[in-house]
Structure 1
C-alpha cells in the first residue's frame, strides 16, 4: 500500500498505509479524522487512481437529506406515465404503482450509485466532511455502513453486489456518534512532519529550489505551533511554494513573507499577528536553525 500511495505522489505514513490495507482486506469503512487541509480527501482520490476504481463523492453539508444523498423519484415522468395510463384506459392502481415505482423512474444519488456500480469494480465511495451534516442523516448511514444496503420504501432493499470501498472524512467540528465509529476502522490524519512536508513540496512544486523549500517548510511548521485561528494546511504550503516560485524567490525575507502571506493564512487576525512582529521572529529562528545544520 505504501508503494501504491507513493506511485500516486502521496507521502503516506506506515500507519496510514496499514489501516488502508486493512480496510480493503476486511471490507470495512474507514473513518479519517483530522484538521482541515491535512490531505484526508486526497487519500480517497489517490486510492481511486491507484486501484483504477471510479470515485463517487458525497459532499456533506448542513441540511443534506435523503433525496439529495441517496435517491429520489422522477415525479414529472411519473405524472406523465399516470396520465398516459389513464388515457389508454389502464386504471388498476396496483399495476400503475408497480410501473411508476420502478427502476426507470428512480434517480440515483451518490449513495445509491455507490451500491449499484457495475463497471470498473467496486467504487471508492467518499463521504466527505460528515461532521457538517446533522445526526439524523448520520444515523441513516448506519445500515449502509454495516450491511452495504439501503431500504427504499416503494421497492424494498437495495444491496451492493460488491461492497464499495467507503472512506469517510470529518474535520471534527462536532463529534461523530459511537454507533457509526464502531462500524469503521479509524485513523487520525495529522499535519505532516517537517521531513514529510518537505518531500511533498519537492514532489508537488518541483520548480521550487531546495533552499527555499527548506525555509518555507520550516516557517510553516513553526506557524502551526502558534495556536492560530486556522493553521495552514498542506494545500496552503503548496500554494505558498508555488507563489514564491512564480515570483522567482530564492529565499525568504520579511518583505516577501508579508507580500505573499495571503496564500498561506486566510484570516485577518492571524495575518495581523504575523505582521506585527511575530512573523519576523519566526523567520529569524528558521534561518538560524538551517544555518546551524
Structure 2
C-alpha cells in the first residue's frame, strides 16, 4: 500500500461512515486500524475466528475506494508461480507453428517473441501490481512457510522479476488486506511488515444491527432472538462455532419459512443454516429448549 489512498477520508470515523454506507459495521478499533493502514501505506493483517468479517472488510473496502478486489486464496502447497504468473504454453506453441508455416527464418527473433508480454498469464499478485486495487491475501495461515517468506519479499517493494521480461514494479501499490484464521502461527517477520488487528465476534447489539441492516425484513425481536442464540452457540464446545455469515443465513432461513420468532421447532428445522457439522447439530438439538429460553427481560 502507498500513502495517498482515500485522500478525502480525514479520520477513522469518516472511514467508518463510508464502510457503514456499504452495510459493513466496523467498530472504532477496526476503523482506526483500516484508516492507519491506508494512510501509512502498510498492509492490514486481520486475524480472528472464521466468519467474523475479515474477508468482507476487504470486499467492502474495495467498494469504498471504488477499485477492483483481487483475491489470492491461500492453500497448502501454494507456490510462487500460482500466485504470480505463468506462461501460456498452448498459445506459444500455436504462435511457433504459425511462424513456421509462414516461413519465419530468424530463430533468435522467433524465440524472443515466444516470451512476449502477451503470452504471460497474470496471476493475482502480478495483476495486483499492474492494477490500482485492493489485494486480499485470504487465509495466509493455510499456506506454507516458504510462500509466506515469498509474500513478505513481494510486499517489501511491490515488484517482481520475470527473467524473460525484467522487473515489473507497481506504479500504485495495492491496498493490501491479509487474513488469518489462526490455524497456525504466522511468522513475526510478516506481521512486522503489517498493521495488526484482532477481529472478534461482534457484540450482541452490533450483531442485531448487522442483521437489521443486511436483512431489513427481520423484525427487531427476531434479530435479537437469533443474535442471542448465536452468542449462546459460540459458548458451546462446537467443531465450528457460527460466525456472522451463519447468523445471517439462519435469519434468512427463518424469514423464508415465514417465522416471526425463534422457537425450538423453527430452530430445529433451520439448524443446518447455522451449524454445518452433524456432530454439532446432534449436540445442540438435545439442548435447544434451554438454549432458546427467553432472557429475564423477555428477549
Tell whether the structures are fold-level matches, with TM greater than 0.5.
yes
Please name the residue that 2:81 is paired with: 67
Which is worse superposed, 135-144 or 97-106? 97-106
- Distance between the aligned counterparts of 1:77 and 1:267, measured in 2? 45
Q: C-alpha separation between the residues in 2 aligned to 1:288 and 1:42?
A: 31
Q: Which runs of 4+ in 1 moved over 3 A?
A: 79-87, 95-98
1:93-150 CA-to-partner distances (Å, cap 9, x unmatched) read xx44433222122111111111011xxxx20111111112211111111121111111
SS in 2 for 1:289: coil
> Are 2:296 and 1:289 aligned?
yes
1:115/1:164 contact within 8 Å kept? yes
Aligned counterpart for 2:32 among listed residues 3, 11, 18: 18
Where 1:158 maps in the other structure, the secondary structure is strand
SS at match of 2:121: strand
CA RMSD of aligned residues (A): 1.6
Return the TM-score normalized by structure 2: 0.90
Equivalent position of 2:229 in the other structure: 219
Deviation of residue 54 (structure 1)? 1.1
For 1:234 and 1:170, locate their aligned partners in 2 and report how far apart those are by CA, in whole Å. Answer: 16
Alignment check: 8 A CA contact 2:104 2:110 kept: no
TM-score by length of 1: 0.91
Q: In structure 2, what is the Cα distance between the partners aligned to 1:268 and 1:157? A: 51
1:157 aligns with 2:167: yes
Report how far residue 19 of structure 1 moved. 0.8
How much does 1:153 deviate? 2.3
Cα distance between partner residues in 1 of 2:96 and 2:68:
36
Q: Does 1:51 align with 2:73?
A: no
Find out whether 1:173 has 2:183 as its counterpart.
yes
Q: Aligned with 1:12: secondary structure?
A: coil
* Aligned counterpart in structure 2 of residue 182 of structure 1, from 192, 200, 207: 192
1:85, 1:91 within 8 Å by CA — same for their partners in 2? no
CA contact (8 A) 2:263 2:292 kept: yes
The DSSP-based 3-state class of the residue aligned with 1:46 is: helix
In structure 2, C-alpha distance between the alignment counterparts of 1:166 and 1:157, rounded to whole Å: 21
Does 2:281 align with 1:271? yes
Deviation at 1:222, TM superposition (A): 1.3
- Correspondence 1:42-121 to 2 at 5 A: 42-83=56-97, 87-92=103-108, 95-117=109-131
Which residue does the alignment assign to 2:9? none
Unaligned segments of structure 2, at least 5 residues: 1-14
How far did 1:268 drift?
1.4
Query: How far off its partner does 1:5 sit?
Result: 0.7
Shift of 1:79: 3.2
Matched residue, 1:148: 158
Q: Work out the CA distance in 2 between the residues paired with 1:157 and 1:45.
A: 29
Alignment partner of 1:3 is 2:24 = no
Unmatched segments (≥5 aa) in structure 1: none
What is the match of residue 54 of structure 2?
A: 40
Q: Describe the SS at the equivalent of 1:220.
A: helix
- In 1, the alpha carbon distance for the partners of 2:117 and 2:62 equals 28
Q: How much has 1:80 moved relative to structure 2?
A: 3.9
Q: Which residue of 2 aligns with 1:200?
A: 210
